[in-house]
Amino acid sequence: MNGWLVAATLLLAGGLGPVVWGVASGPLERRVLAQNVGTSVVCLVLLLLAQAYTRTSYVDLALVLAVLGPAGTLVYARLLAEDLEGAPRHANALTVVVASLAAVVVVAMCLATGAGRATVKLVLIGALLVAGNVVASRALAGGFPTKGAADRD
């Protein structure tokens, strides 16, 4: 058992418990947000397991999940826009936590991997995770504010 496997186990145990609770209970906004966080946690666990077991195919799975996870959240946000309209807007702290965790895991893996194509793929996955979480949480919070929206309020 190495440190990467321990980190993956801790992240899976500590991250998936609240995600399952968030998906199983509470208002619709929390369920959709928990689904988005769940895909990010599983993506990071796959990256850590790829390093622990030296399996590059896990990195490819993480890349696919980094693309499809936030896209799924955006689909939910679009389909459930009317139901999410009156929901409170409070996903900022969770977005910062998930984005920070993604940055820490990706930087640690880049340092362990060294320069090369694998590092470029890891940076791409990290950028997709951070950008995907920011865009998906803003979509759940009602979208990005526009200049005209400030004048109407």
The rounded distance, in Å, linking the Cα atoms of 56 and 33 is 29
CA quadruple 30, 36, 42, 48: dihedral sign: negative
Q: Kindly report, residue by residue over 26-82, the tens digit of the pLDDT.
A: 777 778 788 888 888 899 999 899 888 988 888 888 889 888 888 887 887 777 777
Question: What is the pLDDT, as a whole number, of residue 45?
Answer: 92
Q: Kindly report, residue by residue over 80-106, the tens digit of the pLDDT.
A: 777 666 655 556 777 788 888 888 888
CA quadruple 80, 39, 140, 143: dihedral sign: negative
Tokens of 56: 């590059």
* Long-range residue pairs from 139-142, CB within 8 A, at least 24 positions apart, any chain: 139/73, 139/74, 139/77, 139/78, 140/29, 140/32, 140/33, 140/36, 140/73, 140/77, 140/84, 140/87, 140/91, 141/89, 141/91, 141/92, 142/84, 142/85, 142/89
Q: Kindly report, residue by residue over 99-137, the tens digit of the pLDDT.
A: 888 888 888 888 888 888 888 888 888 888 888 888 877
Write the burial class of residue 49 (CB in 10 Å: 0-12 exposed, 13-18 middle, 19+ buried).
buried
| pTM metric for this prediction | 0.81
Give alpha helix (H) positions in the chain. 3-24, 28-53, 56-79, 81-84, 92-113, 117-140, 147-152
Q: Of 135, 144, 8, whose CA–CA distance to 74 is shortest?
A: 135
